[in-house]
Chains A and B, each alone.
Chain A
Amino acid sequence: MAVRREETRTTVDRYPGRVRVNHWITAISLILLAISGAALFHPTLFFLSSLFGSGSNARMIHPWIGVVLLASFAVLFIQMVRHNFWTRTDTQWIRHVGDAMSGHDERLPEVGKYNGGQKLVFWMMALLIIILFASGIMIWFEYFGGTFTIEQQRFGHIVHALAAVAMLLVVIVHIYAGFYVRGTISAMTEGKVTGGWAYRHHRLWLRKEAREGVIDERQTPPGHGFSRPAE
C-alpha cells in the first residue's frame, strides 16, 4: 500500500488483488442470489429463474450461492473490519450525508479509509448476511425441512424476505455510490485511486499513506527532489 507517482498522475493503492478478487466473488454471488431470490419472491419476476435453466435449478442453486457468499464475505469482513470501527467523525459525516450526495465534499469532515456511509454499508451487509444465512438455513427445505418446525420455517420465510429487501436497498446504495462518486470504481478494478480522489474523499487516509512512503514510478523524475523511492 503506497502512494505512487506515475508518469502522468499520482495514484494511491487502495485494494490488493486478494481483496478485489474476494469482493467480486461476493458481488457476483450477491447478484446471482438477488436474481434467483427475486424469481421466487414475486410471480412477475419468476421468469428470471430461466437464467438458471428452470425454477427447480434456481431453487436448488440459490442456497449454495448463499454458502459461497457467506464464505467470501467472511474473508472480506476479516480483511476490512479494522478500518470500519465507528468514530465520532463518522457520526458527523452521516449528519452531512446530504452534502456528500450533492457533491459538496468540501463541507464534510476529513475521513480515513472509510467514511460513515461506507462503514454503515459494511456493518449493514455483515448483519444482513448473518440474518439471511440463518433464516436461509431455516427454509432450505432439502436439507433442513425436518430440522425446523413448520411455524419456525414460516418465520424464517418472512425474515428472509424482509432481510433480502433491506439487503437490496443497501446494495443499491453501495453500487450507486460507486458510480456517483467519480473515480471510485478503479479502486476495485485496478486496485488504486488517484491522489485527487483520495484528497477529496479520504484525506486522512491519503495523509497516512503518504507518510508511509511515496514510490516514484516515473522513468525520468523531475529534479525537484521531493520524490525519492520510499524505503
Chain B
Amino acid sequence: MAGLQSQDFARISATNFRPPDVRHDFEVAKLIDVSKCIGCKACQAACLQWNDLREEIGFNTGVFDNPHDLTPHSWTVMRFTEWENPQSGNLEWLIRKDGCMHCADPGCLKACPSPGAIVQYNNGIVDFISENCIGCGYCVKGCPFNIPRINQADHKAYKCTLCSDRVAVGQAPACAKACPTGAIVFGTKQAMLDHARTRITDLKSRGFQNAGIYDPPGVGGTHVMYVLHHADQPQLYAGLPQNPRISPVVELWKGVTKYAGLAAVGFAAAFAFVHATVARRNDVSRAEDREAEHVIDEEAARGRQA
C-alpha cells in the first residue's frame, strides 16, 4: 500500500482488515472564507503549479469560470455566481472555490472496489492512490459533491489531495499558501472551526444574519469547510448541496446488496452440493432404456405410415 503517510490510515477502500493506526494525528481542515474571496484564481494557479499539472487552453463563453468545470488536471475551480439579493436589492458576486471536501464519511471511498485506491488518513485527508486505481469511475458515483474526474489517457481518477504531500511535512496546501486575501486558511479542524466562528461574528455584525459555517453533518463533517454569508442557502453558491449525503442508492449497492448478494449465491451453491450428496440419483434405468426402444419402434412405424 503506497501512501505518503504509510501508517496513518483511518480508512482504506475495498478492504476488510482494519488499517494500521499506530500513529495518530490531528484532524486538519482547510477553511475557505467565501466572503473574503476576490476571485483572483491564485489558488487554481498554485494548485496547477504545485501538482505540476497543465490545463488545456479553454475558451471564453462569457463567464469567469475557467476552466468551466473540474477536470483531471484542474483539481480546484472557482465558480462565479451573480445573485440579486431580494432583501437588499444588491447584486452579490458569490465566488466559491470548488474541489474535494475531504468528507469524514467519504462516498468515493465507500464506492471504490479497488483495495487501497482511496485512503483516508488519520488527519482526515482523503487521497487517491493512483497505482491502485483501476479507472472504473465508481468514486464519481459515490461522491455527493461531483468531484472526482477520470483521466481518459491513463484511466485514473483525480481530485484535490489537500496537498497531502505538503501537509505530511508540515506545510499548508498550495492554494492556502497562495491566497492573497487570506480567504483560504489551513490548520487543525478545531482551529479552523474557532477561526470560522470569529468570521461569522464579524459577518453578522455587518448585516449578514445568516452567515455560517458549511461543515455538513450528512457526510460526517468535512475537512474542507466554507464560511458562507448565506449559510441558510448554500445552493446559491453554484449549487453547493444543502444537505449532502452519500446517495441511498450507493449505500444500498455498497451495503446490504454486497453481503446479501454474496450470501444468496453462496447459499445456492451450497444447496446444490448438499442436494447432490443427499438427493435420490436421477439416472436413466435399464427399464427406461427398453421402454425407449418400444416408443421409438412405435413412433417410427407411425411416422412411416404418415
Bound together, the chains give a CA A226 to CA B294 distance in angstroms of 11
**Chain B residues closer than 8 Å to A100, beta-carbon distance:** 282
Bound together, the chains give a CA A202 to CA B285 distance in angstroms of 15
Kindly provide the distance from the CB of A207 to the nearest chain B CB, expressed in whole angstroms: 5
**Chain A residues closer than 8 Å to B303, beta-carbon distance:** 210-213
> Residue A68 at the B interface, CB < 8 A?
no
Bound together, the chains give a CA A200 to CA B282 distance in angstroms of 10
Check if B280 sits within 8 Å of A102, measured CB to CB: yes
**Chain A residues closer than 8 Å to B141, beta-carbon distance:** 150, 153-154, 157
Check if A55 sits within 8 Å of B114, measured CB to CB: yes
**Chain B residues closer than 8 Å to A179, beta-carbon distance:** 276
Closest to A176 in B: B272
> Residue A221 at the B interface, CB < 8 A?
no
Bound together, the chains give a CA A44 to CA B14 distance in angstroms of 8
CB-contact partner of A211 in B16, B140, B146, B299, under 8 A? B299
> Residue B204 at the A interface, CB < 8 A?
no
> Residue B42 at the A interface, CB < 8 A?
no
Instruction: Name the interface size band of chain B.
Output: 35 or more
Query: In B113-148, which residues have CB < 8 Å from any A CB?
Result: 113-115, 132, 134-138, 140-141, 146
Contact with B along A1-35 (1 / 0, CB 8 A): 00100000110000000000000000000000000
What is the total number of residues of chain A having a CB less than 8 Å from a CB of chain B? 68
Check if B265 sits within 8 Å of A172, measured CB to CB: yes
Q: List 20 A-B contacts (CB under 8 A).
A: A41-B262, A43-B115, A44-B16, A46-B113, A58-B134, A103-B281, A141-B136, A145-B137, A151-B247, A161-B257, A165-B265, A176-B275, A182-B281, A195-B296, A199-B289, A206-B299, A210-B300, A211-B299, A226-B297, A226-B300
Check if B113 sits within 8 Å of A43, measured CB to CB: yes
Check if B261 sits within 8 Å of A43, measured CB to CB: no
> Residue A70 at the B interface, CB < 8 A?
no
> Residue B168 at the A interface, CB < 8 A?
no
Check if B295 sits within 8 Å of A200, measured CB to CB: no
The 9 closest A-B pairs by CB, nearest first: A141-B137, A211-B303, A196-B289, A199-B292, A210-B299, A195-B292, A103-B280, A55-B134, A196-B284
CB-contact partner of A145 in B15, B150, B262, B286, under 8 A? B150
**Chain B residues closer than 8 Å to A164, beta-carbon distance:** 261
CB-contact partner of A200 in B258, B284, B301, under 8 A? B284
> Residue A78 at the B interface, CB < 8 A?
no
> Residue B240 at the A interface, CB < 8 A?
no
> Residue B163 at the A interface, CB < 8 A?
no
Closest to A228 in B: B304
**Chain A residues closer than 8 Å to B150, beta-carbon distance:** 141, 145
Contact with B along A38-72 (1 / 0, CB 8 A): 01111111100100001110111000000000000
Check if B283 sits within 8 Å of A43, measured CB to CB: no
CB-contact partner of B275 in A154, A180, A230, under 8 A? A180
**Chain A residues closer than 8 Å to B260, beta-carbon distance:** 165
The answer to whether A54 and B134 touch (CB under 8 A), given A141-B150, A195-B293, is yes
**Chain A residues closer than 8 Å to B257, beta-carbon distance:** 158, 161-162, 165
Bound together, the chains give a CA A45 to CA B301 distance in angstroms of 58
**Chain A residues closer than 8 Å to B140, beta-carbon distance:** 141, 145, 150, 153
The answer to whether A182 and B300 touch (CB under 8 A), given A43-B15, A154-B249, A199-B288, is no
> Residue A101 at the B interface, CB < 8 A?
yes
Bound together, the chains give a CA A176 to CA B268 distance in angstroms of 10
Kindly provide the distance from the CB of B116 to the nearest chain A CB, expressed in whole angstroms: 10
Check if B114 sits within 8 Å of A200, measured CB to CB: no
Kindly provide the distance from the CB of A24 to the nearest chain B CB, expressed in whole angstroms: 21
Check if B134 sits within 8 Å of A210, measured CB to CB: no
Closest to B134 in A: A55
> Residue A218 at the B interface, CB < 8 A?
no
Contact with A along B13-31 (1 / 0, CB 8 A): 0111000000000000000
Bound together, the chains give a CA A211 to CA B78 distance in angstroms of 80
